[in-house]
Structure 1
Amino acid sequence: MGDVRVWIIEDDRDWLRGLVAYLNKEPDLQVVWTASEAEVVRQALRDGKQLDQPADVILMDIMLDGRPEGILLAEETAAATGARVIMLTSMEEKELIFRSFQAGAIDYQIKSDFERLPDAVRSAFRSQSPINAAVAERMREEFRRLKQLEREFEVKKVGDLITPSELQLLDLIDQGYTQPQIADKLVVSIRTVKNHVNHVLKKLNLSGSREAATKVKEMGLFHKKNDEDSTK
């Protein structure tokens, strides 16, 4: 493997100098450019000045000038250069780290564990960076949250489509009543029941009344209806 070209974006200049010296001791790593301010990086990307010394891997401090500017910068540099971004942080702040992964970073490293950085850079270069367990759990939490929001949206959409009388009809179907029995119970004609059933099936884009009743039941809409009835 040839030299892995590294950019370092870090606002602690003393730590930056030490990190440059540390990484450059590795025979296969070469720090080709550094910056301490986000705007310097953005200007360089706009001007294209760094294309002569492109990065394979970028070490990006999450906190620049006292704010998490590195998160936005990670997305911008990854898009502009195609380099793989490793976030550097002084503390394991899960929310900021998760946002960094959303922005396109592929790894993060705690600064106090700087001895691990050479191997982290090599892994990033080979696209073999493992997802940290804490970040993976945060991602799972976010997927669960999005799944719940999706379900709540679907329940609300169906709840808004179905009228109270149609919900009552589906409830009776779920309880096993036949259409003639439903007509007798509701004191309507069998034709009216059939029309209501067909109307509901069109709304839900389903082909069978039992399927429709099951879907509504699984969404908890019968339970919601019963709760509302008990408060009247």
Structure 2
Amino acid sequence: MDDKIKLMIVEDDLVWMQSISDYVQKDDDIIVVEQAYNKEEALQVDCTNIDVVLLDLSLSIDDENFSGLEVASYLYKKGLKKIIMLTSWDEKDIILECFDTGVVNYITKTSYRDIPNAIREAFRGKVSLHADVTNVLVGELRKERKVKILTPTEREVYTLKEQGLNKSQIADKLYKSVETIKRQLRIIKSKMQ
């Protein structure tokens, strides 16, 4: 067991837990040494015998606060620096928040086949960007680079539009006419393409 990567899985879905556990242990170099089914159990685990953590972001169906982030932050402070977030979410803000808490990789559950390699990379101390994350972040980087070509006023309009405001709301907020906002949005669209 000393030559195997010792894995802890934190997952609230028992079927997923068992499936992942069975899948990663097919490889001779990984062994599951701890399992936790919720935040409370995860916070009670003795971290001294764990190399890598595979952590579900949402530890209950109605988890609007993403309690996996709390667990990641706690484990990171306890010395576990090799945490992989496992989730169904692929939104930029959530991904960035996970990396801010110290996770080294982020994989969606649809990419479960990539989990063993992610575990190995984390064990070797590599911070990796799985394709699930890369696609989202590269798209965001491209968008940010395009935003730089906008004037300050256009950026302001663009930001409000990205926040979900409609043309009338943007016009009210910026003390402009709806026609002016429509024109600016056409210019922004043209520049962003």
Question: TM-score, normalising length from structure 2?
Answer: 0.64
Shift of 1:117: 0.4
Deviations 1:123-169 (A, max 9, x none): 1111223234234665896xx9xxxxxxxxxxxxxxxxxxxxxxxxx
Matches of 1:139 and 1:100 in 2, distance apart? 18
Aligned to 2:33: 32
Q: Contact 1:62 / 1:70 at 8 angstroms: preserved in 2?
A: yes
Aligned to 2:80: 82
| Percent identity between the two aligned chains | 29
> Residue 9 of structure 2 aligns to which amino acid in structure 1?
I
* Shift in alpha-carbon separation, 1:118–1:17, aligned structure 2, 3 A: same
The structure with the largest alpha-carbon Rg is 1
Matches of 1:90 and 1:137 in 2, distance apart? 18
Q: Contact 2:57 / 2:67 at 8 angstroms: preserved in 1?
A: yes
> Residue 15 of structure 2 aligns to which amino acid in structure 1?
D
SS in 2 for 1:88: strand
SS in 2 for 1:81: coil
Please show how residues 46-195 of structure 1 align to structure 2 within 5 Å: 49-51=46-48, 54-65=49-60, 66-67=62-63, 68-131=66-129, 132-133=133-134, 134-135=136-137
Deviations 1:42-89 (A, max 9, x none): 133xxxx453xx211100100012320001110111221334000001
Of Structure 1 and Structure 2, which has the larger fraction of its residues in helix? Answer: 1
Matches of 2:32 and 2:81 in 1, distance apart? 14
* Shift in alpha-carbon separation, 1:102–1:137, aligned structure 2, 3 A: farther
SS in 2 for 1:30: strand
State yes or no: 1:12 paired with 2:21.
no
Matches of 2:102 and 2:138 in 1, distance apart? 15
Deviations 1:194-222 (A, max 9, x none): xxxxxxxxxxxxxxxxxxxxxxxxxxxxx
The runs of 4+ residues in structure 1 deviating greater than 4 Å are 136-141
Higher relative contact order (CA 8 A, sep 6+): 2
SS in 2 for 1:26: coil
Number of aligned residues: 137
Unaligned runs of 5+ in 2: 148-193
Matches of 2:138 and 2:75 in 1, distance apart? 23
Matches of 1:82 and 1:136 in 2, distance apart? 28
Matches of 1:138 and 1:71 in 2, distance apart? 22
Question: TM-score, normalising length from structure 1?
Answer: 0.54
